Structure 1
Amino acid sequence: MKVKKVLLAASEAMPFAKTGGLADVVGALPPALNKLGVDARVIMPLHRQIKEQYRHEMKHICNFFIHMGWRTQYVGVETMEKNGVIYYFVDNEYYFGGPIYKGGEAEGEQYAFFSRAIVDCLPVIGFMPEVIHLNDWQTAMIAMLLKTRYRNTPQGAVKSVLTIHNLCYQGRFNLAFAKDVFDMGDGDSIMNIEAYGDANFLKGGLVFADKINTVSPTYAEEIKNPYFSEGMDGMLYARQRDLSGILNGIDADELNPATDGNIPYHYSERDMAGKKKNKEALIEELSLGISADMPVIAMVSRLTSQKGLDLVKCVLGDILFDDVGFVLLGSGDNEYESFFQEAAYNYCGKAAVRIGYDEALARRIYAGSDMFLMPSRFEPCGISQMIALRYGTLPIVRETGGLFDTVLPYNEYTGEGNGFTFSNYNAHDMLNVIRMAIGVYGQKAKWNRLVENAMAEDNSMESCAKEYIRLYDMMM
């Protein structure tokens, strides 16, 4: 191992602020890296959403000012240690005293400020990393700053890795706006961040980062195809030698049905009695009028088109015609929220829908369900199917991105597999696979073997961390 010091830069991280899976990854990866001998630290905004109990533990390191166009903005840097990891927080009430993501150009300015503040604070926080690990468009422009404006400073020696968690989100803004917030003069090569007439913050990272990775090997291949590339296939193809896929992991200690404090009954692959008790408790909690001998199909998801919900809309009535229960937890587009709420009313007793997000309820759903439906149109990695496997709830997924990499389809001849898959983005292909799963559920010996296979999978963050160390070392 060559690299000893890594700084992860991200817009959110657990346990401080979370809107999606990025926070889980940024929260879980540094402890895993530390266990392997890397001094991995995190820098993120001091969001208003961070609890007071954490704020009281923080210590002030430094403060200075930077110019954002015609504006002069305050930068404060706070620090604290949590679970053996040192965190730095960039403080500015104007940018981080509201929503985590403001939307529009306000969000572009928010994270342009964050990126510039990170680069400027490196010499004064007492930690100069060998590698800075960037995450999505919000921090991608740091790679450009290091290779251009700061190339003849100590920061210019820092290598950069850019992780693409979802290529859909690229940070597209007006070119004049980008020049303003990054203080780019006429001598700067604006073409390095221009795409289709706009400034594209993610492109800045794709051009200048030393290495690029996505969060699964299959997604790394898919995004070279125009269908998945969101207009970036040319750039990604040009950087293909520096592009790789590293499968995300989960915190196997936190997500453990043998110890999880969020579920009423504990169980393990060697003692599964608690699994059925959790199912009985879930049926009672959600007022489902079904027998505990009937399979329960669950979804815990953002309610967006990416998640394949139009397929579910098409055949939910057919699914519920069979002897099954259906449980959904999530929030998102009004179209899908309304549909599933209406379905819960129409299929009262067989379907339960909870709009919103509740981590404790999510754990009880993972523990108390038999099958986990995830028919995504595309999925860069996906964490939910890994959690389902960990809790012995067999995934039913479409073969795309990280779903393809983590779910091995059931083989009726050998009994191998840890879930069920379908390839085409087609509602009736999905329905056929669901019915196959229901059929196998009725054959307890076969089903129990699949559950054992699922719970034996190693999707821990330690495996993920080892891959990142290899990637870091390639740059040295």
Structure 2
Amino acid sequence: MTEENEMSESAYENLPGVLIASAECAPLVKIGGLADVVGALPKYLGELGIDARVIMPFHRQIKDRYAAQAEHLCDFHVGLGWRSQYVGVEKLVLDGVTYYFIDNEFYFGGPVYCGGEFEGEQYAFFTRATLEAIPCLDFEPGILHCNDWHTAMMPLLVKTQYQGAMQGGLRTVLTIHNLHFQGQFSHEFDRDLLGVDDSLATPDFVGHYGCDNMLKAGIVFADKVSTVSPTYAQEICTPELGESLDGVLRSRGSDLSGILNGIDREIWNPSDDAALPARFSAKSAWRKRLVKAALLEELGLDPIGEGEDVPLIGMVGRLTPQKGIDLLCPVLDDIMARNVRMVVLGSGDADLENFLRDGENRYKGRLCSYIGYNGDLSHRIYAASDLFLMPSAFEPCGISQMIALAYGTLPIVRETGGLKDTVVPYNRYTGEGTGFSFANYDAYEMLGCIDYALETWHDKPARKRLIQQAMACDFGFGRCARAYADLYLTL
């Protein structure tokens, strides 16, 4: 370790405790990529000597599995509107990470996200309960790290209602995982539930086109704001991708940063992945074909004959327009005319699900659409596929392309957000690159990129070189945790 690194580690060890507030966290409950980040961050911050812990709702899915292991710390009531609501504070230590849970059966006995005004009330309650619970914890945080709109009112309340209550002060960070979701409700809603003063319901603070915007509150009041990739941090400051918040984001200037997400290599490691029928590393990447053969058999796809060289294209993710699945609609027949196998795993928009089911019926033995989610199957798709298609309309960061790279599967991505930051487009003249990319949100431009990827894949020396370059990429979460630790140092 260099002298500079030793000094850096020492600085991290002097950081105060970090309390990470989130609606979801893997492996306890996972709906989207937010859970993966919040699940990995405290573990890797701990390796830097930072005491980082998670606070989240005691969702029914968590309670059913872990209630017997959780320790009851305290309980009290908080005012929410005209009601006095019960708050239970539970503690669980799992795999070296400490979790605190806010318990209330009325608010957290159902779905993690239920939509509508009740979801706003759920997380208004979680906001108030969390801030009231902090003095009761067996831990004194100096930094409160909030995530997305569900916790974005906390920085506002810390600065306007809790200035003297947090001994020594509490600094706040807000990480935006997806700007599209903002938590917009009437000012009367925020005033009645959280006591937000009428003077704050203006465009300079939380007011936004006739509503109070919870995410905007966090952007305005957090000490630092981050998002999940450098390119996305730039994109959200533009009118095109700023979701009407580009002005307030630009106003934060250097207080806004983009920190690229990472993947937990203890989970996503082809050389030590229990979900695979054959494990491999960069030195034994030829063993990918064993996983591929097993997956084709598992999914009922036609086997690849002796001497044939047929690529498998994989997709894993939500079936929504944001993920670019609608780009498949006009060109699926063209893709399947290229003599490929294809597997898609995901769920979401009913029309897109039905489109993929119809495609599977028309291309029996060559296309599999698995509607739903299966964690072990996702591991096998990442490992078995030769190419991984991810044509997102926008992508704050994305981790699927990072996982694909770790498994020697070459991504085909649209140049947006974190996809642009993580996939280096292949240059046939220099041999550089780790995948393939296209710029415009256009189905036929995507098809041209797929053709280029297929042409390159059939060039065996180029294929071998690209797989090695892909698997050499380091998108482990340690780098991401260090970037957050550096951000904490600036508070």
Q: Is contact 1:147–1:156 with CA below 8 Å preserved after alignment?
A: no
Q: Give the unaligned 5+ runs of structure 1.
A: none
Q: Distance in 1 between matches of 2:152 and 2:201?
A: 15
Partner of 1:255: 268
> Which residue of 418, 423, 432 corresponds with 1:407?
423
SS in 2 for 1:169: coil
> Which residue of 177, 185, 189 corresponds with 2:200?
189
Aligned residues: 474
SS in 2 for 1:203: helix
| Divergent runs of 4+, >6 A | none
Partner of 2:133: 121
1:372 partnered with 2:388: yes
Q: Distance in 2 between matches of 1:234 and 1:277?
A: 52
Residues 259 and 4 from structure 1, CA distance in 2 versus in 1: closer, same or farther, beyond 3 angstroms?
same
1:425 partnered with 2:441: yes
Q: Distance in 1 between matches of 2:128 and 2:80?
A: 9
Q: Which moved more, 1:270-279 or 1:325-334?
A: 270-279
- Aligned residue type for 1:444: K
> Which residue of 243, 262, 283 corresponds with 2:256?
243
Q: Which moved more, 1:235-244 or 1:47-56?
A: 47-56
Deviations 1:149-169 (CA, angstroms, capped at 9, x unpaired) = 111222681000000000000
Partner of 1:154: 166
Q: Distance in 1 between matches of 2:397 and 2:51?
A: 26
Residues 171 and 156 from structure 1, CA distance in 2 versus in 1: closer, same or farther, beyond 3 angstroms?
farther
Residues 51 and 320 from structure 1, CA distance in 2 versus in 1: closer, same or farther, beyond 3 angstroms?
farther
Partner of 2:100: 88
> Which residue of 66, 77, 82 corresponds with 1:70?
82
Q: Which moved more, 1:154-163 or 1:337-346?
A: 154-163
Partner of 1:436: 452
Q: Distance in 2 between matches of 1:40 and 1:81?
A: 12
Deviations 1:72-129 (CA, angstroms, capped at 9, x unpaired) = 1000000011121111000000000011112100000000000111111111112221
Q: Distance in 1 between matches of 2:42 and 2:273?
A: 22
Q: Which moved more, 1:196-205 or 1:289-298?
A: 289-298
Q: What TM-score do you get using the length of structure 2 for normalisation?
A: 0.95
Partner of 2:18: 6
1:467 partnered with 2:483: yes
Listed as ranges, the matches of 1:127-142 within 5 Å are: 127-142=139-154
Deviations 1:6-27 (CA, angstroms, capped at 9, x unpaired) = 0100000011111111111100
Deviations 1:175-194 (CA, angstroms, capped at 9, x unpaired) = 211211112354x5222211
Q: Distance in 1 between matches of 2:64 and 2:182?
A: 32
Q: Distance in 2 between matches of 1:217 and 1:165?
A: 12
Deviations 1:441-471 (CA, angstroms, capped at 9, x unpaired) = 1111110110111111100100000000110
Q: Distance in 2 between matches of 1:450 and 1:184?
A: 54
Q: Once superposed, what is the RMSD of the aligned Cα atoms?
A: 1.1
SS in 1 for 2:60: coil
SS in 1 for 2:87: strand
- Aligned residue type for 2:121: E
- Aligned residue type for 2:487: L
Partner of 1:26: 38
Q: Distance in 2 between matches of 1:12 and 1:311?
A: 30
Partner of 1:324: 340
Q: What TM-score do you get using the length of structure 1 for normalisation?
A: 0.98
Shift of 1:53: 4.0
Q: Is contact 1:112–1:181 with CA below 8 Å preserved after alignment?
A: yes
Q: Is contact 1:4–1:37 with CA below 8 Å preserved after alignment?
A: no
Q: Which moved more, 1:149-158 or 1:405-414?
A: 149-158
Q: Which moved more, 1:289-298 or 1:1-10?
A: 289-298
- Aligned residue type for 2:252: R
Q: Which moved more, 1:88-97 or 1:176-185?
A: 176-185
Q: Is contact 1:290–1:325 with CA below 8 Å preserved after alignment?
A: no
